[in-house]
């Protein structure tokens, strides 16, 4: 489930280095422009029209120094795994088995990619044994002409071929107070950046929303709102990629949409999401255009993933962390072209793993626990512990349409959302 964002000037970037790309993303628009992105060279700086103090310095794990500020300023950042191979060796397919001394999260994602390919390679008839459960988001779904995907929220409704890899990946992402997972650590750092209180009765007001157990829930009765979603996108053709040619001067082309989009522009609804692709595809919104960030990972030889802010964290931080817009255009057969002289066989599919961390639904939401000098007072003072995180999530979800459903139903939901917005704007 995701929130739609509507870009005005989407385009693809072609610069090769991630750090250079993120520096370029800090674009200052012309003063007359209506769009004013959060852009500055200083990580701690904030938009000029925001009177609140800047965020505290709070180092995000596995995020390079030059990328630290982009999570709050752009709603996304790059997770960079330590490299144990030559920097000139670009891993076009990060589902390949990584070195034994690579980061545990990198190895875990590789194992999950391998297991997912085995699952998706089965006939549709076999996969229907795990079909989507109405009203739960769990299970396997297929959107003809776009993608198929499986959503994992409990071990009992996870195919055997995925269980071991999914359980390990979940534990490394969530963890517990005694054995911290990656996203638990990130949430702690976000708390610090917001200057939230670290005293009783709510010493960690954001951490209280994390899942209560470190592992994927065993049964439906133990299920939490968080999930793993694994996608398979079919490439447009299966012809081999041509050998690269020397760079040539390129003419300026008018900005245009890609031929086809398989995941419309949107922002996720939860707290944080981590996206890993085995073939470049994900594009992120920098406030002015879309940038094909995963292609830059390949060109720079980085072992990387993308972390995105969701609508819940945007709300809980009182908009100090804005939700990160992103999309996925239809994969093309040149998605894994190498920098070598030999042509590479084109892949048939693009797979991606998305870990979605959502606020634990039974936890009461009290805006007073989430206010500091840095966050400021919430405009909506109605959240005084009288609603749960789950109820607030439903409000967010109902305000937007689902991009991961069939096209006809998607269009119906889209029309309904637009009609509700018009009624609200008219005061009805």
Task: Report the CATH number that the domain containing residue 214 is assigned in CATH.
Answer: 2.60.120.330
In a domain, residue 423? The reply is no
79: closest CA among 271, 269, 303, 300?
A: 303
In a domain, residue 38? The reply is no
Lowest mean pLDDT among 36-40, 370-374, 388-392: 36-40
Q: List residues bridging with 131 in a β-sheet.
A: 140
State the DSSP code for 305. Answer: E
pLDDT class of 29 with cuts at 50, 70, 90:
very low
Look at residue 376 in the predicted model and tell me its pLDDT.
94
Number of domains in the chain: 1
Average pLDDT for 48-61: 91
Q: Are 309 and 76 in contact (CB under 8 A)?
A: yes
In a domain, residue 317? The reply is yes
Q: List residues bridging with 268 in a β-sheet.
A: 2
In a domain, residue 31? The reply is no
Average pLDDT for 114-121: 98
For residue 361, what is the enclosing H or E element? none
**Three-class SS of residue 262?**
strand
In a domain, residue 426? The reply is no
Lowest mean pLDDT among 108-122, 312-326, 355-369, 413-427: 413-427
Helix axes 182-193, 160-174, angle to 10 degrees: 30
Which pTM was predicted? 0.77
pLDDT of 121 over the 70 cut? yes
Say how far apart CA 223 and CA 237 lie, in whole Å.
39
In a domain, residue 106? The reply is yes
Calculate the average pLDDT of the chain. Answer: 77
Q: Which DSSP string do the residues of 325-336 spell out, in sequence order?
A: PEEEEPP-TTTT
**Three-class SS of residue 226?**
coil
Residues spanned by the domain of 16: 2-26+47-236+256-401
pLDDT class of 36 with cuts at 50, 70, 90:
very low
Say how far apart CA 189 and CA 57 lie, in whole Å.
9
Q: Are 154 and 228 in contact (CB under 8 A)?
A: no
pLDDT of 110 over the 70 cut? yes
Task: Kindly tell me the burial class for residue 399, based on how many C-beta atoms sit within 10 Å of its own C-beta (0-12, 13-18, 19 or more).
Answer: middle
Look at residue 240 in the predicted model and tell me its pLDDT.
40
In a domain, residue 126? The reply is yes
| Residue pLDDT, tens place only, 375-403 | 999 988 778 888 999 999 998 888 754 55
pLDDT of 357 over the 90 cut? yes
pLDDT class of 20 with cuts at 50, 70, 90:
low
């Amino acid at each position: 489930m995701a929130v739609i964002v509507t870009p005005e000037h989407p385009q693809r970037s072609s610069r090769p280095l991630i750090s250079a790309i993120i520096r370029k993303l800090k674009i200052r628009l012309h003063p007359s422009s209506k769009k004013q992105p959060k852009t500055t060279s200083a990580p701690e700086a904030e938009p000029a029209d925001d009177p609140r103090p800047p965020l505290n310095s709070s180092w995000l794990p596995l995020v390079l120094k030059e990328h630290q500020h982009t999570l709050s300023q752009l709603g996304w950042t790059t997770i960079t795994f330590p490299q144990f191979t030559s920097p000139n060796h670009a891993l076009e397919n990060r589902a390949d088995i990584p070195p034994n001394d690579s980061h545990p999260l990198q190895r875990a994602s590789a194992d999950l990619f391998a297991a997912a390919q085995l699952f998706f390679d089965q006939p549709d008839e076999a996969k229907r044994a795990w079909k989507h459960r109405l009203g739960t988001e769990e299970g396997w779904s297929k959107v003809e002409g776009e993608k198929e995907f499986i959503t994992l929220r409990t071990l009992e409704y996870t195919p055997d071929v995925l269980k071991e890899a999914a359980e390990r990946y979940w534990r490394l992402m969530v963890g517990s107070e005694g054995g911290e997972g990656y996203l638990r650590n990130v949430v702690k750092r976000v708390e610090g950046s917001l200057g939230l209180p670290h005293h009783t009765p709510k010493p960690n007001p954001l951490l209280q929303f994390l899942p209560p157990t470190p592992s994927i829930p065993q049964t439906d009765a133990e299920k939490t709102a968080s999930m793993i979603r694994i996608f398979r996108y079919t490439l447009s053709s299966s012809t081999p990629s041509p050998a690269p040619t020397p760079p040539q001067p390129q003419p300026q082309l008018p900005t245009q949409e890609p031929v086809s989009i398989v995941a419309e522009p949107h922002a996720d609804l939860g707290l944080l999401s981590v996206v890993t692709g085995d073939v470049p595809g994900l594009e992120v919104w920098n406030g002015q255009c879309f940038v094909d960030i995963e292609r830059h990972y390949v060109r720079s030889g980085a072992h990387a993933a993308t972390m995105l802010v969701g609508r819940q964290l945007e709300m809980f931080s009182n908009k100090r962390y804005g939700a990160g817009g992103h999309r996925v255009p239809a994969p093309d057969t040149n998605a894994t072209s190498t920098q070598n002289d030999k042509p590479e066989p084109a892949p048939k599919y693009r797979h991606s793993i998305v870990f979605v961390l959502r606020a634990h639904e039974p936890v009461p939401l009290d805006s007073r626990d989430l206010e500091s000098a840095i966050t400021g007072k919430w405009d909506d003072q109605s959240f005084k512990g009288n609603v749960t995180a789950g109820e607030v999530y439903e409000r967010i979800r109902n305000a937007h349409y689902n991009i991961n459903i069939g096209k006809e139903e998607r269009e119906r939901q889209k029309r309904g959302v637009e009609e509700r917005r018009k009624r609200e704007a008219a005061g009805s």
